[in-house]
Amino acid sequence: MATAVKTLILPLLDANPGKREALTATETLFTQMVQFYLDILLNQPSFWDKVVEGDIQTGAILSEQIPTNKDILTRLEFATISTATHPIPPHPLSGLPGAEAAPVLFRRAAINRAIGLAKSYRATRRRWETRAAHRRGKAPTIPTVRSMPVTLYQGMSLLVREETRSFLRVKVWNGEVWRFEAYPVAIAPYQRSLLSVAEAEQARMDKVRAEARTLQKAGREEEAQTLLKTEGKQQKGVPVMASGTLFHDGSHWRFHVPLFTPIRVKRAQDQLAENPNLPIATVDLGVNNLAVAVAFQGAKVTGTRFIPGRPHEQRRFRRLKAIAVRQHKTGGRAKRGANHPIWKHLKHREDAVAQQVARQIVDFAQANGSKVIVFEALSHMRSPQRIGWMKRQNVRRSYWMRGKIMHWVRHMALHAGILTVTRDAQFTSQACPRCGHLGARFREATRHRRRGQDVFHCYACGWSGNADLVGALNLRKKWLRIFPAIAKLRHEQKLREAQGQRTNRRRSETVPTMKTGPNRSGV
C-alpha cells in the first residue's frame, strides 16, 4: 500500500487592506512562535530525554524509549502554557503578543514545525560529527526562521465552494484579537471535481465513525470495531483532504490543499518474484539526450524512446548569454535585481521541462504496460576535479536536471500505480549490453552530420549501437542482479589503462559497425 499526494494550489483573490494585513500579522506571529519553540528545543537538551516507564511499587525501570513528536509537544506545552495547576511555566509565551490567546491548533502547528526543524538540525549535526576530521568541512549552522508558511489544522480554516463564488474562511490575528475572516479564492473546474470527491469521501468516513461511536455507547464494541475495519477506512484510489497551508510569495497569497490518495501496489521485488517476466522500463538520464527509455517484456525489448535535450539547451544558453551581456556592459555584476526576471524565467523553464520529460517517461511506461521504472542512482555522485575540457560542457553538466526529473517521475508514476526504483550506476554506460566486457565510445562524423553521433563498440563480441542506449540496456541487468561483477570490470579497466587504451573517445574515428540494435536477440 502506498499513498500518492497531489497538492492543489488555490490563489487568494484581492481582499481589502485590513484583511491582507491580518494575514501578514498571522504569518509573522506563526514565524515568531516557531522560532520561540525552536530556540527552546536547541538550548534545552532535557526535552529530548528518553521516555522512561517504571514500576510504581518497586521503582524499577521497565523500558526506555526515544520520545515521539507527541511526547515532545506535551513537554513543550507544559513548559510554556500557564494553567490553573501550573500558573508559572519556566518558558512563558507572554513575550509574544497574541501567542497566549492563539488557538490550540495554531500553537500546536507551530510546535510541530519547530520539532521538525530541530530534528533535522540534530540529525545533520550528528552526521557531521561522525565524519572524519578531514572530511567534515563547515559545521551545520543553527536554523533561523525568517518566514514560515502557516499550517492550518482542521478547525482553523474552512473552504466554502458555491456556484457563484468560493472563499476561504480562516481564523487570523489582526494585531489585537483573533477572528474569522473570509477571503475570495479562485478554484479551477478540475480542482472543484477533486475537492468534491474528497469531501464526499470524508463525509462518508465521518458518518461511519459516528455510527461506530453510537454502537460503542450501546455496549456493542465488537460490532463497532468490525464496522470501522470494513467501512471506516479510506477507499483505494479516492482522495481525502489534509491540513492546508498558507503561502506568501511577497505579492500574492496562495492556499495549498494536499490530497492523499491510497494506492494498492506491491513492492517491486515481490512483483518480480511472482512474475520473472515482469514488464519494466529502464531510463538513462543524460545531457545530450535528457532521457533514454527502454521497455522490456522479459528479455525482449518492446519499445524505446529518446527525449533530446539540445533544443532546451539552446534556449538556456540564450538566456545565460543575455545575463552575461548585461554584466559585461556594467563592467561586472549587474545592479541588484536587474537580471532577476531572466533568472526567474530560467528557473521556471527548467522546472517546466523537467515535468514535461517526466510526463513523457510515465506515458511511455504506461503505453508499454510497465509496472516498474528503473533509474540510475545519481543522487550521491562525486564531482570530479575537472568535468570537461570546455566551459560550455561544464555549464551543461551543472544544469543537469536529473534530480528534478526523477522527483516528478516518482510523483506521476505513483498516481499511475507504477513504482520507481534506483540501481547502482557503476559501468552501466561502459559495459557491453551483450557480453558484459568493457567497450569504447566513439563519435562518428558522417557526411551530413558534422558533429557526429556517439557510438558504442565492443571489441570482445563486436556489438555496436547507440552509445546513449547502452546505459538503459544495462539497467535491466542491474535490476535483475545479473550485471558483471564490479571488481572484474575494474580489473579490466586497469589493464586497459596500463595498455594505453581509453573506454571513452571523442574523436571522429571509424570502427567496425554491425547493424544491431536493442531488438537483436541476446541484448
pLDDT, tens digit, 9 for 90 and up, residues 229-275: 888 888 888 999 999 999 998 788 999 999 999 888 888 889 999 99
CA distance 242 to 260: 7
Strand partners, 244: 152
Give, in words, the CATH class of 265-380+391-499.
Answer: alpha beta
Q: Identify the burial level of 151 via C-beta atoms within 10 angstroms of its C-beta, where 0-12 means exposed, 13-18 middle and 19 or more buried.
A: buried
Give the model's pLDDT for residue 493.
85
Cα→Cα distances 435→203, 233, 432, 464, Å: 59, 51, 6, 12
Query: At residue 522, does pLDDT exceed 70?
Result: no
Average confidence (pLDDT) over 213-237: 90
Report the b/e string of 100-127 with b at 16+ CB within 10 A.
eebeebbbbbbbbbbbebbeebeeeeee
Query: At residue 412, does pLDDT exceed 70?
Result: yes
Query: At residue 82, does pLDDT exceed 60?
Result: yes
Give the model's pLDDT for residue 396.
65
Query: At residue 306, does pLDDT exceed 80?
Result: yes
State which H helix or E strand residue 114 sits in.
helix 104-130
State which H helix or E strand residue 303 sits in.
strand 300-308
CA distance 514 to 508: 18
CA distance 440 to 459: 8
- Yes or no: say if 476 and 374 are a contact pair by the CB < 8 Å rule: yes
**pLDDT tens profile 381-406:** 655 444 444 566 666 666 778 889 99
Q: What is the mean pLDDT of the chain?
A: 85
Please choose, from the candidates 251, 285, 218, 38, the residue with its C-alpha nearest in 3D space to the C-alpha of residue 146.
38
CA distance 310 to 206: 53
Name the 3-class secondary structure at 65.
strand
Give the model's pLDDT for residue 395.
66
Residues of the chain with CATH 3.30.420: 265-380+391-499
Query: At residue 507, does pLDDT exceed 70?
Result: no
Give the model's pLDDT for residue 30.
95
Percentage, residues of the chain above pLDDT 90: 44
Give the model's pLDDT for residue 301.
92
Grid coordinates of 147: 518566514
Give the model's pLDDT for residue 382.
58
- Yes or no: say if 271 and 479 are a contact pair by the CB < 8 Å rule: no
Give the model's pLDDT for residue 518.
40
Give the model's pLDDT for residue 514.
38
State which H helix or E strand residue 487 sits in.
helix 486-498
Give the model's pLDDT for residue 519.
39
